[in-house]
Structure 1
């Protein structure tokens, strides 16, 4: 099947949590291909599984012919915290205490390798993620990316770098992670200016 059939995909909120292992495999494969984790890591990486099952989290999937080919998750800050607490606890707490804002995070964004260069799929996933952020009334959104993706997301989302930290413990493969922050309204306007035929808000 030609990769161009990607335009038949559907983006949905995940309702069947039995499909979480599919997402785990997609993330695992993406991390391996990006060099973020060791090839010795054979099991799916799921570092904060508790976030999957809370009401503050919405999981989006991109599905094509019954297969999940993309995903992203949005979490509103609450009793269970955010995924950024795993990597940047002090920095996340500082933002909580000093910023008069509704805080959330976007995490676990990935697309399968055969569709990674399809900008429309990526933009549709980002657009739907912003719609979820609006539903949750998230004003400030936090992200954790590998440092090599920092410039891309700064350009795409007008994201601000807050902190960096290197991880060498298994399963990570000597990776420097970057904590980034955006104002969701500003990011939506920024994307709408970059891609003038689309509205992200």
Structure 2
């Protein structure tokens, strides 16, 4: 019995050392080799961090492009989708509310023209990207709200369209809005 206790105690100490000390230090060291040095890739303006590369933000003012809705209100600690199916009455009402709000802020746009990514949340609830169509449909509102020509805003959107090797094109909403703030009227 004493022998079994001794073996168990030594195994416990080895596992604590391995899993509570060595493994976390190894993961932290690997994190330091990543672009954000283990703290995430940030987006800065004038030396001040305004957001993260891979986490969406909520923009509600008409002077900004809006991103995808979030089922978790853009809280990175609680990444999740809504888990409501397309036949759920509560979900359908939520999407309809988003459509109504978008139409109220974007006169001249019809319900059929609204890209789905502007009224439905992504699976993580943190997607920082929208489709190029979702950005283009907001150009008139943003240009009008800022008193900037549609031509200038259109050029800015075009410059921020990313076409990856695999997958669909996208626009990073925060980067687009930061660039928009840098435009001199």
Q: Which has the higher strand share?
A: 1
Please give the range of the TM-score, normalised by the shorter of the 2 chains.
under 0.3
TM-score, normalization: structure 2?
Answer: 0.25
Q: Which has the higher helix share?
A: 2
